[in-house]
Amino acid sequence: MTLNLPQVKILKEVSSPLGLINVVESPSIRHAPGLSLNFRGEIPPQLALFADADSMSVITNFDNQLSNLQYLDYISSALPYHLLDKPKVLIIGAGGGSEVLSALYHASSLIEAVEIDPQVVNLVKDEYADFSNQIFSRPSVKIFIAEGRGFIQSSQSKYDLIQLALLDSFSASSAGVYALSESYLYTKEAVKEYIRHLNPEGILCITRWLKLPPRDGIKLFATAVESLQELGVENISSQLIFLRSWATSTILIKRSPFTSPEIRIIRDFLEERLFDPIWYPGIEIDDINYYSILPEAYYYQASQNILFGERGKKVHKKNYP
């Protein structure tokens, strides 16, 4: 489908043991998954990186002006930056650099980004360095070529934010190529490892594609609950946030309970961007399924069942007779 875009060109093709990467140019390429319908600005020019003709990330030419990256504040994975001040960030899945740009836009003090494919790093850092505005060479950015979970297991560092980037395509994920149950990055053991590497007020943020019937996001939410249980957390629901845009779902797992002021910030973030809450501490039934309306409150129902078991089912039945 991408090759049908106006003025499309395949600029480069590189292969490695990890797959085939195509660099694609077109004036129509704009990539910001789940971008808020309230965003009124522009997305800068981008080059698409396709892995094995499917999974997509982008290199963005923001003209070395961070103000041109405002769109990155209108996607669901931007939420944790509104809760943290100049965070130390770990990005798992650097890709073409979108999450690195988001961390830069949100004034992160230090950014460590892990990318498994050295060819991708070479494209962003060297061959398309001018187009990318040298983002991988900035003093506050450190790039590591490694597998994400292996990197975190060998690291002694603690972070204010660990961000798992949305790199697989919707079609690949739907087809099972990146099935959550098979992904090394999303297991219970991996999630517990991420949480252990958070500072006391740190946040783990994971974004997945939104699907019907609900799949990846719900599995991940259940994994988050089980992980916190095994780490000895008593009031699990107080350390979780679950939200959705029209195309993505995002889970925030905090090392400590979310505070009342943080909940107010979260509510404002959702309202301003027309994102729907699925779970936050103190959520009301009138808050859910309001902007991107689904036939039923599938995600809310599932999250209640996961968090509260039979009690959650009774709450849902009471509100949806």
pLDDT digits (tens, 9 = 90+) for 170-192: 444 444 433 433 478 999 999 99
Q: What is residue 313's predicted lDDT score, i.e. its pLDDT?
A: 44
State the average pLDDT over residues 119-127: 97
Q: What is residue 88's predicted lDDT score, i.e. its pLDDT?
A: 99
Q: What is residue 310's predicted lDDT score, i.e. its pLDDT?
A: 59
In the chain, count H helices and then E strands.
9, 12
Residue 214 has pLDDT above 90, yes or no: no
CA pair distance 191, 159, nearest whole angstrom: 14
Residue 79 has pLDDT above 70, yes or no: yes
pTM of the model: 0.92
Residue 318 has pLDDT above 70, yes or no: no
Q: Which two tokens stand for residue 150?
A: 């292996």
Residue 106 has pLDDT above 80, yes or no: yes
User: What are the chain's domains?
Assistant: 2-319 (3.40.50.150)
Tell me the three state secondary structure of residue 149. Answer: helix
Find residue 111's DSSP bridge partners.
Answer: 89, 141
Q: Which two tokens stand for residue 50?
A: 């396709």
Residues 291, 275 contacting (CB under 8 angstroms): yes
Q: Cβ–Cβ contacts within 10 Å for residue 215, how many? A: 18
Residue 41 has pLDDT above 90, yes or no: yes
Residues 51, 19 contacting (CB under 8 angstroms): yes
Q: What is residue 10's predicted lDDT score, i.e. its pLDDT?
A: 93
